[in-house]
Amino acid sequence: MLSLATLSLRLGVSSCHGSRRSIATVISGIKTSKLVRERLKAEVEAMKNQFSGFRPSLVVLQVGDRDDSNLYISTKLKAAAEIGIEAKHVRLPSSTTQDEVLRSIRSINEDDSVHGLIVQLPLDSVNAIDNELITDTVSPEKDVDGLSCINAGKLSRGDLKHCFIPCTPNGCMELIRQTGVSVAGKHAVVIGRSKIVGAPMHDLLLWSHATVTTCHSKTADLPEQVGRADILVVGAGRAEMVRGEWVKEGAVVIDCGINHIPDATKASGKRVVGDVHYASASQRAGFITPVPGGVGPMTVAMLMENTVQSAQRFLLKNQLRR
Ligand code: NDP
């Protein structure tokens, strides 16, 4: 029989040893994302063997040259290469017009050898570009970021099998699954209602049969709402906003936040913290994600998952056509 410690290690969860009073079990995004990437690598290998060298392929379209975007893109390309996904980086100059970006997207949409297309946001252009128009021009069948209205609409209606789920909330769900806590029947609270994190997170929890409350900047009684959460997912972009004393004893706490705060002890003069005050929350929560090393690594893993899924759908569609 497996000991609790062995089982926890396999699941990517471990006891929080940061402080003597800590009780939360830490949900590691690093361990969990590694498991996902290993599974995907095996699936890609199987696809390659079964369909004479076929490989899933992903295009990352960038406009301009932002340093943060360059870093995110290189992480995605590296993850793709490790899994065996063919990834291509298309970089357009910051002088590119909206029409030119749309033309590039349409031409990639029509290319059957590409299964996933993401447009790296924010766009770094000297011209006015409508982000909504850009994300909605990506073919829903290749929209592995899950940001088009078609995919968002399907998700909000609970049609999870026929859409692409945005990567960050999809990663959060995977981390919740790792805890072994059943979502059905629980009270879940999401802080944030953005298209990329909060809104799809609400939908995913709802269709996993939780009763969901979504909070935002106009929510009047945030601590009270948080106190009701069996499952709490925070994506507000406010450093350490959620205090430990708000958190319900034993809750599952998933922190999407990535915030840089000054820290004179670091060579860089800053450090990364989440939207949850980790030190106090980890003393009340049952499970908690760290920042860094929690949701962040899962986002990239889920992009890879969506790309592999898109390639599988492509193969299935073409087999059925034959
Ligand atoms: P947005 O700024 O688009 O949305 C923030 C949301 O939080 C909004 O809905 C806003 O409400 C709400 N909010 C802001 N302040 C408060 C407050 N004081 N009380 C309650 N709600 C508040 O951010 P994103 O959704 O893009 O990102 C959220 C966080 O997640 C950020 O820290 C970001 O860095 C991180 N992130 C992490 C990713 C990862 O891979 N780990 C990926 C994407 C994001 P309102 O709608 O009323 O303005």
The residue type of 268 is S
- Range 286-302 burial, b when 16+ CB lie within 10 A, else e: bbbbbbebbbbbbbbbb
CA of 193 to the centre of ligand 1 (A): 7
**Do 4-28+166-296 and 55-148 show the same overall fold?**
yes
CA of 57 to the centre of ligand 1 (A): 30
Classify domain 4-28+166-296 at the CATH class level: alpha beta
C-beta of residue 58 within 8 angstroms of C-beta of residue 86: yes
Q: How far is 86 from 218, CA to CA, in rounded Å? A: 44
Q: How far is 296 from 71, CA to CA, in rounded Å? A: 13
Give the ranges where the chain is alpha helix by DSSP (H): 4-11, 29-50, 67-83, 98-110, 131-137, 149-156, 167-179, 198-207, 222-227, 278-281, 295-321
Residue 319 has a pLDDT of 80
Q: What are the boundaries of each domain within the chain?
A: 4-28+166-296, 55-148
Active site residue ranges: 76
Residue 14 has a pLDDT of 65
Nearest CA to ligand 1 atom 15: 217
Residue 321 has a pLDDT of 62
pLDDT in tens, the chain (322 residues): 444 444 454 456 666 544 445 589 999 999 999 999 999 999 999 999 999 999 999 999 999 999 999 999 999 999 999 999 999 999 999 999 999 999 999 999 999 999 999 999 999 999 999 999 999 999 999 999 999 999 999 999 999 999 999 999 999 999 999 999 999 999 999 999 999 999 999 999 999 999 999 999 999 999 999 999 999 999 999 999 999 999 999 999 999 999 999 999 999 999 999 999 999 999 999 999 999 999 999 999 999 999 999 999 999 998 856 6
This prediction has a pTM of 0.94
Q: How far is 301 from 170, CA to CA, in rounded Å? A: 10
Fold of the domain built from segment(s) 55-148: Rossmann fold (3.40.50)
Residue 15 has a pLDDT of 60
Pocket test for ligand 1, best of 69, 132, 217, 300 (most atoms within 8 A of CB): 217
Pocket test for ligand 1, best of 258, 299, 306 (most atoms within 8 A of CB): 258
Which ligand 1 atom is the nearest neighbour of the CA of 296? 41
Lining ligand 1 with CB less than 6 A are: 168, 191-194, 196-198, 215-219, 222, 235-238, 241, 256-259, 275, 295-296, 299
Q: How far is 301 from 293, CA to CA, in rounded Å? A: 13
Nearest CA to ligand 1 atom 34: 258
C-beta of residue 19 within 8 angstroms of C-beta of residue 279: yes
Residue 173 has a pLDDT of 98
C-beta of residue 191 within 8 angstroms of C-beta of residue 211: no
CA of 198 to the centre of ligand 1 (A): 7
